[in-house]
Amino acid sequence: MIDFLNEVVLWWHWIILGILLIIIELGIGTFFILGLGIGAILVGILDLLIGLSFTGALGLWILFSIVAIIIWFKYYKETTISTSGQSNKSFDTIGTVSKEIKAHGRGEVVFDTPVLGNTSWDATSKHNIEVGSRVTIKEINGQLIVVEENK
């Protein structure tokens, strides 16, 4: 079987496979298959230049694909700001302190737009913040929001 594949699979087959994977990626939009497609195109180019066996080309494609996946998850994966399981989509929301926040104590903040469905939240801060001060979210810890004063 390997001898058959060594004779039948040529360099342009790898390039066609890479192009097909990239086209599939355009429809999916995850960028995961993009690395597989680029790896296949690189294998096709190397096969054209130095002539690889099928097993060598397959091994290189697997290697290129693994490297692309590692790069994708290491550098392009969205990092979360809070590990509490809450969303981090509203961290730029500005609010007004409605109940004074003492350093490392609790107060209350009313936000201009809802944060995770509510406009009024219990909040804490590392510093004293007076009523009427404008604040932004620094972190969300469960049902408690850590804020800092806008400067």
> Could you tell me the pTM of the whole model?
0.51
Domains, the chain, with CATH or none: 2-75 (no CATH), 94-149 (2.40.50.140)
Predicted confidence (pLDDT) at residue 125 exceeds the cutoff of 80: yes
The Cα-based distances of 135 to 97, 104, 117, 124, 132 in angstroms read 7, 15, 18, 11, 9
SS3 129: strand
> How many residues are listed for the chain in this entry?
151
Render pLDDT for 28-87 as a digit per residue (tens, 0 to 9).
877 788 889 999 999 999 999 998 899 999 999 999 999 988 888 887 766 555 444 445
Average the pLDDT over 5-19 and give the result. 88
Q: What pLDDT was estimated at residue 116?
A: 77
